[in-house]
Structure 1
Amino acid sequence: MTTNNSQLRLPKIDFESPIMDSIIGLEVLRYKRLYGTTPPFIFFQLKSIFHMLESIGSARIEGNNTTIADYIESTKVHSGESRYWGNEEDILQIANGEEAMQYIEENIENINIDKFFLRELHIMTVKNLNPDKEGARNPGCFRMGPVSITKSSHIPPDFTQIESLIDELLLFVNEDCSPKFDLLKIAIAHHRFVWIHPFENGNGRVVRLFTYAMLLKKGIFKKDERIVNPTAIFCSNRNEYYDYLSKADSYTDEGLVAWAEYVLRGLKNEVEKIDKLLDYSYLKTAILLPALKNAFECSYITDKEYSILKIAFERTEFQASDIKDVLGKSSSDISRIIGKLREQGMIMPIKPSARKYVPTFSNGLLLRSILIMLDENGFLPDN
């Protein structure tokens, strides 16, 4: 049973409070009509990269030390090989997060945010992980004993209260209300889940997936229009994340507002930043073409491949006749080079058996250089 000073509620907000700027700014972004020029096939490749970053960031908050480079070498560049470029358990933990993100994306319109959903997220999060490390002895089951929270003095409620507390939380999340409260409710729900700590392990990873699902389910952001990376808010400064969670543990208006302002301010900044990638002129100039140059300088690609891929990114799609002047080769030589680029995952036909091709970079060697350019332009978390 909750005490009066830990009641689940929305805090009272002064209209002059800084949080109002974040709420209003996010509401403007929520209903802003997007006219991005980035082609869909490139948009969705970028989205897969940010889903990967989301999963890495979420795992790193929990102490996983796998670097972005380790993860892409193990799963994107050398996938299928027996060698791992990091701790195998840590790699699997991140891969589980990616799988759960995909599950949310593919099913959010047809599923309810309920106990079954939360349990399913937990099962995916801890799948095949060591129960003595980042796994769980009873995947998908609420805990049957006490737990502690990293870097927090808060003692989670007794396990006998979990069912009723989760029922209360889900009622709070799903209750119809004015859309103007949606963002505030999502921030408060994130904290409440952590405060309850319903599972024996993996609560942090699950709550960040839960938060992403709420953002999509409430229509804050449409999955086919925007790239959203909410975990970037939390993983850039883990100590700050824990500090603000602790402030909300007081369940005072001041503590709850401070936590919500931290979440919404970070989300607004993250969305505004990533929205820049919807402008293909910016994306091409700041990220894609410099990444190609980096890949060439690092000898990931040859000079001929560099020339072809540059045309591919400039035009967004190409065919053999478009590169004949550049290569000065016979048709058979061009076909061989195109075939090699396809095998390396750098281009693909626009549809099966088509003779037109588009550039690809979400897997394979180019991904290394894309990530370097995203980092140099401030799109990757600091940690």
Structure 2
Amino acid sequence: MNKKYELPPVDFGSDLVRYAFEVERLRGDLGNGTTPARTLTELHALFRLVMSVVSARIEGNRTTVYDALSELPPLGSAAPVESDALREITNILDGIDFIDATDPTTPLSHIFVRELHRITVDGLRREGDSTPGEYRRRDVSIAQSAHTPPSHVYVHAEMSELLDFVNRDMPTHQQMIHAAIAHHRFVWIHPFGNGNGRVSRLFTYAMLRRNGFDSIPGYRAVNPTAVFGNDRDGYYSALEAADDLSPTGTIGWCEFFVHGLRDDLARLIQMQDFTFLTERLIDPAVDRLIASGGATAAEGSALKLAARSGVVKAGDLEPAFSGSPSQRSLAIRSMLERGLLVRDESGPRFYRVSLARAPLGPYVIRQLDELGHLPRILRDDRRSRD
């Protein structure tokens, strides 16, 4: 195997080793919290949208997360997306779904990678590719980069070598370094005519699933895109420094990746503290929704009750809605029609709070921002929600 797929020698006392051990310590804390699994599932749906916006934003898409929440079709809808900018985001969402539907123990293959590309560029004009799902057939250069990717003649062979490396079984303490190197080498090869950045981030998400994050219920929200969106300039700078494939450049890139993942995991672990989640995130978001006129005080009380219970029936919301059962049913129907509540998988008479879409979703995003839980690349998306 080429030396570019050897793990670099790392001093045991280095920052990289310290970050890697901290990631493993934090990973051990995942799944041990008090937040109900269904609430984590709602958060995952919200985070997957946020990360899709971030991935598109890194490539220059200016759609705000608020626009995505309000303009994208409801979850599960087959309605077409006309806007090219929104289609780019929905394609990334489809890529995440494709990965989530794949057995994480299945080795990553050429077919898998090319399908990720086909999904990512499907139907796009500005950020599409003339050969979706196929490796590039011409030599390319990368704008504002000194690195020249390998000739198209060698792309398949280079990708075969990368996939051999990706599918190696690694000791737990080396898995984050393994994923970091694979991400850089993918971008270094630049296997497609366009869409390499978006596909590389999806590819690395798939690697994290292979490395065990998918086995923790509700924590598919662990997505490396948050790391890259938190410091876009640092992301590109660290990638470029590793382009000479030297141990020094590779270690610097791995430090950037693992350090960022550690910080993101720490934020996610806060979300498994149900008291923190309800008091610091959901309740303030509901209060903002009420203040905006998007919900009545009674509906706000019902949302807070449902958030604390995870799943509710009509009778559970009696403290919020005084009056007869038929009046309560009408109030619940109105909340369902407006997307404040959604039907739970338990049955048609079971409901839960909808955190992942409008009208509550934008206020959850605003509160996440104030808590410091959003990548910095979304900072310009701020607008008054009070």
TM-score (norm 2): 0.91
State the Cα deviation string for residues 89-124 of structure 1 (Å, max 9, x = none).
111001100111011112133632010110010000
Of 312, 323, 329, the residue aligned with 2:306 is 312
> Is the contact made by 2:37 and 2:218 (CA closer than 8 Å) also made in structure 1?
no
Contact 2:72–2:81 (CA<8 Å) still a contact in 1? Answer: no
Aligned match for 2:172, one of 168, 179, 184 = 179
Instruction: Give, in angstroms, the shift of residue 354 of structure 1.
Output: 5.1
Q: Is the 8 A contact 1:216 1:223 kept in 2?
A: no
Measured after TM superposition, the shift of residue 251 of structure 1 is 1.7
- Note closer, same or farther for the CA distance 1:372–1:163 as it changes in structure 2 (3 Å cut): same
Q: Which residue matches 1:161? A: 154
**CA 183–220 in structure 1, closer or farther in 2 if over 3 Å, else same:** farther
Contact 1:236 1:381 in 2 (8 A): yes
| CA distance in structure 2 between the aligned counterparts of 1:111 and 1:17, rounded to whole angstroms | 33
Q: What code does the residue aligned with 1:114 have?
A: S
What's 2:217 paired with?
224
Q: After alignment, is 11-20 or 343-352 more displaced?
A: 343-352
Aligned to 1:115: 110
- The answer for the alignment partner of 2:9 in structure 1 is 12
Partner residue of 2:363 out of 364, 369, 376: 369
Structure 1 outlier segments of 4+, above 6 Å? 77-84
> How has the CA–CA distance of structure 1 residues 245 and 33 changed in structure 2, closer, same or farther, with 3 Å as cutoff?
closer
Q: Determine helix, strand or coil for the equivalent of 1:7.
A: helix
Matched, 1:55 2:59: no
Aligned to 2:255: 261
Partner of 2:40: 43
Distance 2:259 2:204 in 1: 15
Per-residue deviation at 1:352? 5.7
Whole-angstrom distance in 1 between the partners of 2:81 and 2:291: 26
Q: Distance between the aligned counterparts of 1:20 and 1:262, measured in 2?
A: 12
Cα deviation per residue 1:229-262 (whole Å; 9 max; x = unaligned)? 3111111221111110111012221111000000
- Contact 1:92–1:129 (Cα < 8 Å) also in 2: yes
Q: Determine helix, strand or coil for the equivalent of 1:107.
A: coil
TM (norm. structure 1) is: 0.91
1:196 to 182, 189, 192: 189
Report the equivalent of 2:376. 382
RMSD across aligned positions (CA): 2.3
CA drift of 1:219 comes to 1.4
CA distance in 1, matches of 2:343, 2:62: 37
Which moves more between the two structures, 267-276 or 348-357? 348-357
Partner SS state of residue 327, structure 1? coil
Cα separation, 2, equivalents of 1:145 and 1:325: 66
Change (3 A) 1:326 1:16: closer
In structure 2, distance between residues paired with 1:323 and 1:30: 36
1:22 maps onto 2:16 in alignment: no
Contact 1:350 1:357 in 2 (8 A): yes
Tell me the equivalent position of 1:141.
134
Bigger mean CA deviation after superposition, 35-44 or 69-78: 69-78
Structure 1 residue 126 displacement after superposition:
0.4
Within 2, Cα distance between the matches of 1:352 and 1:31? Answer: 30
Structure 1 residue 175, shift from structure 2 partner:
2.2
Aligned pair count reads 375
Cα distance in 1 for residues equivalent to 2:365 and 2:53:
13
Match of 2:371, as an amino acid? N
1:78-157 alignment to 2 at 5 Å? 88-109=83-104, 111-130=106-125, 133-157=126-150
- Deviation digits for residues 157-211 of structure 1 (CA, Å, limit 9, x no counterpart): 1111111111111111112343332221111111111011000000000000000
**Cα 1:371/1:262, change in 2 over 3 Å:** same
Structure 1 range deviating more: 221-230 or 256-265: 221-230
Aligned to 2:70: 73
Q: String of CA shifts for 1:54-78, please: whole Å, max 9, x gaps.
A: 1111111111111111111111579
1:94 counterpart letter in structure 2:
I
Q: State the alpha-carbon separation in 2 of the partners of residues 251 and 195 from structure 1.
A: 9
Per the TM alignment, residue 80 of structure 1 is displaced from its structure 2 partner at its CA by: 7.9
Cα separation, 2, equivalents of 1:76 and 1:361: 15
Aligned partners of 1:77 and 1:364 also within 8 Å: no
The percent of aligned pairs where both chains have the same amino acid is 34
Q: Which amino acid aligns with 2:172?
A: P
Deviations 1:285-339 (A, max 9, x none): 0100111000001111122212222222233343434444543322221111111
Instruction: Name the CA distance, whole Å, in 1 between partners of 2:345 and 2:234.
Output: 46
Unaligned segments of structure 2, at least 5 residues? 378-386
Number of the residue aligned with 2:384 = none
How has the CA–CA distance of structure 1 residues 221 and 107 changed in structure 2, closer, same or farther, with 3 Å as cutoff? closer
Change (3 A) 1:99 1:82: closer
Equivalents in 1 of 2:194, 2:128: separation in Å? 7
Which ranges in structure 1 are unaligned for 5 or more consecutive residues? none
**2:206 is the alignment partner of 1:213:** yes
The equivalent of 1:241 in structure 2 is 235
Change (3 A) 1:13 1:352: closer
Q: Call closer, same or farther: CA 1:58–1:82 in 2, change over 3 Å.
A: closer
